[in-house]
């Protein structure tokens, strides 16, 4: 027997844990399951079958065949029966998209261990079809990169294996795969590509599929490079509140829009489309505000771009101590002691440190004397002199000077000692409580409850 699947890739599969195969019973999944059995212990394999209840007796036949094959191999079989037609109508989704969501939700429910993985049998033609479909719909660079060989716990070892090789493998080993009758009609877009478009393109270039995959691989490298550059841009543009708009504009739309997209998703924005990003880009240019999917609002004022989920700010005042203190509204105040001794606690001497650090000796000395350290929201008449300033000013004036977005000001945490402002989130420490030396300091931080970010 000849050697098959030299192009298959199992590099992402851990040496232990479950290998859950998305198992329709068709040639691709049948070949994958049988091939894996020669490489993995039988107890690691799980064949996971979804009956979408769309094809009547044929669907029942496929389920029975899949279960019988699992029993013949002596491996575990997992079954989900789901009325995808009814669910698609309920959710307002197409059948293909709804079926995909159902399948992957089921597969992921089976891989609870850290080393468990889902393996699907997508092949080279599937990958090329995906690229063409995305191209027909007007995709960007990511869509032209095709199906990722790995996404989270999902592995696709056959992405570079042609369908003809898979079917030859099944014939040579007499594997009883089933054929979905919908694959023989033009009812779905992929079937139109397989039956009408691919024969024409392969007539022009017999190695058309390989050419598409090579192009997708090259574009994937370009995408990865751009994503890394945009990540670096995003980190440079981050402010205590929001992003420095000028840095994004100067970087240009290609990187700037990518950085904006990452930031907006961090803020809770879902189902972002190109038009949403372009509207946000316009905010960077001319200022203003808009609403985005997921209940997220965005604005650009004084060159600062900020996105948030609007919620009424509720005033609070709570006594705090060194370490971590939970605050109303889901935030956590962290007061970290930094010392000048060698070792992990040695402070990093940079502008952010000097701006935010408090004198540990002053704070702890007063606490021992009965002083009260409290965290609260701003109050009318609040004034203090931050490090780097020469005189006291109102919080309103300081917020404007520091370009803190208006929605953030009522949420900003103010740290007081016996009523005197020692530190304010986004503005830094008061000169009155600034360290006289760096050997022993307190470094306040506010962590959001979801752990997404911190700011000083």
Query: Is 80 exceeded by the pLDDT of residue 79?
Result: yes
pLDDT tens for each residue of 393-411 = 999 999 999 999 988 898 8
Residues 335 and 441: beta-carbon distance below 8 Å: no
pLDDT score, position 344: 40
Structure tokens given for 444:
């306040």
Query: Is 60 exceeded by the pLDDT of residue 2?
Result: no
| Chain centroid offset of residue 119 CA | 21
Residues across the chain: 456
> What is the helix (H) or strand (E) element at residue 242, kind and residue range?
none
pLDDT score, position 52: 93
Query: Is 50 exceeded by the pLDDT of residue 427?
Result: yes
pLDDT score, position 152: 94
pLDDT score, position 138: 87
Alpha carbon separation from 335 to 188, 369, 400, 442 (Å, rounded): 58, 19, 26, 6
- Percent of the chain having pLDDT more than 70? 92
What is the rounded average pLDDT of the residues 33-43?
A: 93
Q: Binding site for ATP: what residues are annotated?
A: 24-29
> How buried is residue 367: exposed, middle or buried, by Cβ count under 10 Å (0-12/13-18/19+)?
middle
What is the rounded average pLDDT of the residues 42-68?
A: 93
Q: Which residue has the higher pLDDT, 258 or 139?
A: 258
Query: Is 70 exceeded by the pLDDT of residue 353?
Result: no
Confidence band of 61 (pLDDT split at 50, 70, 90): very high
Structure tokens given for 448:
């959001």
pLDDT score, position 292: 93
The secondary structure of the chain in percent helix, strand, coil, rounded to multiples of 5, reads: 45, 20, 40
351 strand-pairing partners: none
Cα torsion angle, 97, 100, 105, 111, sign: negative
What is the rounded average pLDDT of the residues 338-354?
A: 51
> How buried is residue 30: exposed, middle or buried, by Cβ count under 10 Å (0-12/13-18/19+)?
buried
Q: Binding site: what residues are annotated?
A: 24-29
What is the rounded average pLDDT of the residues 58-87?
A: 93
Pick left, alpha or beta for residue 166 (phi over 0 → left; psi -120 to 50 → alpha; otherwise beta): alpha
pTM of the model: 0.73
pLDDT tens for each residue of 177-229 = 877 655 544 457 788 888 889 899 999 999 999 999 999 999 999 999 999 99
pLDDT score, position 251: 96
What is the rounded average pLDDT of the residues 354-367?
A: 88
Query: Is 80 exceeded by the pLDDT of residue 449?
Result: no
Query: Which residue has 């036949």 as its token pair?
Result: 61
Q: Quote the DSSP letter at residue 408.
A: H
Structure tokens given for 252:
């240009």
pLDDT tens for each residue of 130-174 = 999 999 888 889 889 999 999 999 999 999 999 999 999 999 999
Where do runs of H (alpha helix) occur along 137-244? 141-144, 163-172, 189-192, 198-204, 208-237
Structure tokens given for 109:
């429910």
Cα angle 450, 451, 453 (rounded to 5 degrees) comes to 120
**HSE-CB for 89 with a 13 A CA cutoff:** 3
Confidence band of 310 (pLDDT split at 50, 70, 90): confident
Residues 6+ apart with CB under 8 A from 72: none
**Angstrom distance (rounded) from CA 33 to CA 131:** 26
Angle between helices 27-37 and 163-172 (to 10 degrees): 60
> Which of 130-139, 340-349, 371-380 has the lowest average pLDDT?
340-349
């Amino acid at each position: 027997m000849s050697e098959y699947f030299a192009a298959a890739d199992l590099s992402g599969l851990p040496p232990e844990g479950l290998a859950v195969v998305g198992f329709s019973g068709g040639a691709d999944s049948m070949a994958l399951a049988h091939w894996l059995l020669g490489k993995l212990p039988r107890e690691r394999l799980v064949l996971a079958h979804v009956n979408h209840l769309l094809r009547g007796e044929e669907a029942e036949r496929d389920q029975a065949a899949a279960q019988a094959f699992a029993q013949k191999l002596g491996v575990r079989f997992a079954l989900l029966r789901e009325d995808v037609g009814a669910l698609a109508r309920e959710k307002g989704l197409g059948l293909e998209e709804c079926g995909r969501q159902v399948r992957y939700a089921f597969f992921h429910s089976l891989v609870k261990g850290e080393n468990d993985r889902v393996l699907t049998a997508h092949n080279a033609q599937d990958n090329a079809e995906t690229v063409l479909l995305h191209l027909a719909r007007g995709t960007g660079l990511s869509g032209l990169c095709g199906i990722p060989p790995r996404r989270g716990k999902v592995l696709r070892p056959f992405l570079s294996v042609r369908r003809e090789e898979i079917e030859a493998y099944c014939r040579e080993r007499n594997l009883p795969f089933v054929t979905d009758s919908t694959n023989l009609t033009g009812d779905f877009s992929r079937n139109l590509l397989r039956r009408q478009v691919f024969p024409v393109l392969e007539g022009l270039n017999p190695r058309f599929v390989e050419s598409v995959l090579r192009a997708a691989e090259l574009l994937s490298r370009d995408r990865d490079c751009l994503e890394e550059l945009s990540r670096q841009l995003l980190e440079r543009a981050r402010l205590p509140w929001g992003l420095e708009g000028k840095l994004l504009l100067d970087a240009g739309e290609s990187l700037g829009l990518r950085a904006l997209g990452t930031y907006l998703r961090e803020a809770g924005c879902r189902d972002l489309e190109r038009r949403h990003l372009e509207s946000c880009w316009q905010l960077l240019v001319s200022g203003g505000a808009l609403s985005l999917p997921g209940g997220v609002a965005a604005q650009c004022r004084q060159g600062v771009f900020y996105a948030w989920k609007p919620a009424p700010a509720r005033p609070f005042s709570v006594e705090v101590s060194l370490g971590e203190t939970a605050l109303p509204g889901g935030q956590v105040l962290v007061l970290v002691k930094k010392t000048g001794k060698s070792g992990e606690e040695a402070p990093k001497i940079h502008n952010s440190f000097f701006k935010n650090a408090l004198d540990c000796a002053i704070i702890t000395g007063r606490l021992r004397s009965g002083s009260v350290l409290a965290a609260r929201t701003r109050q009318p008449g609040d004034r203090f002199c931050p490090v780097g300033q020469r005189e006291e000013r109102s919080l309103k004036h300081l917020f404007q000077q520091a370009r803190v977005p208006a929605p953030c000001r009522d949420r900003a945490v103010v740290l007081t000692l016996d009523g005197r402002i020692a530190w304010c989130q986004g503005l830094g420490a008061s000169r009155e409580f600034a360290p006289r030396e760096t050997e022993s300091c307190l470094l306040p931080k506010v962590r959001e409850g979801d752990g997404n970010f911190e700011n000083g």
